[in-house]
């Protein structure tokens, strides 16, 4: 019987109760942070996928523009050669490539980490809380 009494006293201890409570609070905060990071990662992945599609279409449009320019330049060069052979000037001036579409900026993301200090590892948070609850042991 005395052994059971000691076990009950240890389990019902104020310190043990608050330690378990603080650990469960830490775990729930960590789970929330993990879910938030997953959500942010998914949003980043979606935004990057959209950006990559837009970038591919932008590259294709620029390639088409260059191809059209090369065809016009080849036609101009043949007319220029014919004009030179005939001893006259070309009827139209050399085609210009013109401005290509600029490269799309890659989306940037700001890291938003809720919690104390921002960039702490989960183990550091546990150590800080254990130190804080360790001071209650003396009471």
Are the CB atoms for 60 and 95 separated by under 8 Å? no
pTM for this predicted structure = 0.54
Domain ranges, ordered by start, for the chain? 2-104
Give the tokens for residue 135.
Answer: 């001071």
Task: Read off the pLDDT of residues 11-70 as tens digits, 9 standing for 90 and up.
Answer: 567 777 777 778 888 888 888 899 999 999 999 999 999 999 999 999 999 999 999 999
From 59, 133, 72, select the one nearest 102 (Cα to Cα).
59
From 83, 107, 79, select the one nearest 95 (Cα to Cα).
79
Task: Read off the pLDDT of residues 90-111 as tens digits, 9 standing for 90 and up.
Answer: 888 999 999 999 988 988 887 6
Q: What pLDDT, on the 0 to 100 scale, is given for residue 75?
A: 94
Q: What pLDDT, on the 0 to 100 scale, is given for residue 12?
A: 61
């Amino acid at each position: 019987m005395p052994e059971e009494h000691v076990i009950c006293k240890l389990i019902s201890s104020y310190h043990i109760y608050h330690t378990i409570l603080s650990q469960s609070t830490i775990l729930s905060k960590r789970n929330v942070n993990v879910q938030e990071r997953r959500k942010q990662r998914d949003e980043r992945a979606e935004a990057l996928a959209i950006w990559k599609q837009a970038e591919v279409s932008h590259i294709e449009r620029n390639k088409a523009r260059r191809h059209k320019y090369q065809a016009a330049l080849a036609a101009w060069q043949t007319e220029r050669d014919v004009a030179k052979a005939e001893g006259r000037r070309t009827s139209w001036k050399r085609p210009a490539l013109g401005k290509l579409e600029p490269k799309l900026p890659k989306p940037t993301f700001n890291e938003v980490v809720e919690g104390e200090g921002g960039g702490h590892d989960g183990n550091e948070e546990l150590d800080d809380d254990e130190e804080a609850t360790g001071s209650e042991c003396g009471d």
